[in-house]
Amino acid sequence: MNVSIVVVGFALGCTMHFKQIFVGGASGILLGVIVTLIGGLVTIGADKLTGGSGVAGAAISSKVGAAIATPAALSAVDASYKAIKATATAQITAAVVVTAILTPILTAWIAKRNKKKLATVSQVND
């Protein structure tokens, strides 16, 4: 299972490029920002609720590349989605690229924030 995830992820990643942000337009960029912020809040909160520091939650707050295939899958099941398949695919692809950029930034910010909190607690305890 783990090997197949790596292979599929690598294959999807090889076909993505920065230009796809512009193809998806403002709505795709906004979707990526929303996924990072809202998804980040949820996953960071879940990580903290389960005893983590929030860093792992931030690290998984991105839009996964496999979601690019969702519009095609939906239009194969229900023909009424065929009209929006191309637009939805472009928006999701842009969101995947945007979250691939924003997720490491969010993760680094959470890690730095945790480090500062830990340093403050250490100083207070000393």
75-120 tens-digit pLDDT:
999 999 999 998 988 888 888 888 888 999 999 999 999 999 888 8
Per-residue confidence (pLDDT) for residue 119, from 0 to 100: 83
Cα first-last separation, the chain: 47
Per-residue confidence (pLDDT) for residue 126, from 0 to 100: 62
Residues whose CB falls within 8 Å of the CB of residue 33, separated by 6 or more in sequence, listed in order: 98, 102
pLDDT band at 124 (very low <50, low <70, confident <90, very high): confident
pLDDT band at 52 (very low <50, low <70, confident <90, very high): very high
The larger pLDDT score, comparing residue 61 to residue 9, is at: 61
pLDDT in tens, 6-43: 666 666 666 667 777 788 889 999 999 999 999 999 99
Per-residue confidence (pLDDT) for residue 11, from 0 to 100: 64
Give the integer Cα–Cα distance in Å for 46 and 55.
11
Contacts 24+ apart (CB under 8 A), 1-10: 8/66, 9/65
Report the amino acid identity of residue 31.
L
Contacts 24+ apart (CB under 8 A), 45-53: 53/110, 53/114
